[in-house]
Structure 1
């Protein structure tokens, strides 16, 4: 099986969407994210949280039509913090790829 199928098997629907969104947001880490998601479910909570947070940002952005909203800014900050947490996780967990 390919790495995307393995990653999908280890993720719930929300986690899978969060993983896909993070792969779009962090293209340089796309392959490593897929491999880590396939090997372990430890990132699933972050993937799920990211999916929920980014969906809320998108919904609030559409509804506000450019208005400044403190809650929207807070959710944008949450998204950035989750992205940072995922980057740190990926960098701290090197892949053991055979030579």
Structure 2
């Protein structure tokens, strides 16, 4: 389980940056909590979300990746976090199928 703390949020933001995303917190009328701008890897997260909501939004975006995109090299800390996120998301998907 990923803790929903500001520290965990900071780690996820760092991982997103290493994956090529700019994470911005803006107000907007988007119901999913985030929007991706024209394939430019800008994640705009609803700024009114609390820390838990922000963590969950970033995890939702990361669920689209099974491996980092080609040409992306992660730092060891981000690589470890990415693997942990993938395991967590895999377990959640398996439990939803049951």
TM-score normalised to structure 1 length: 0.29
Q: Name the structure where strand makes up a greater proportion of residues.
A: 2
Q: Name the structure where helix makes up a greater proportion of residues.
A: 1
Larger radius of gyration: 1
TM-score normalised to structure 2 length: 0.29
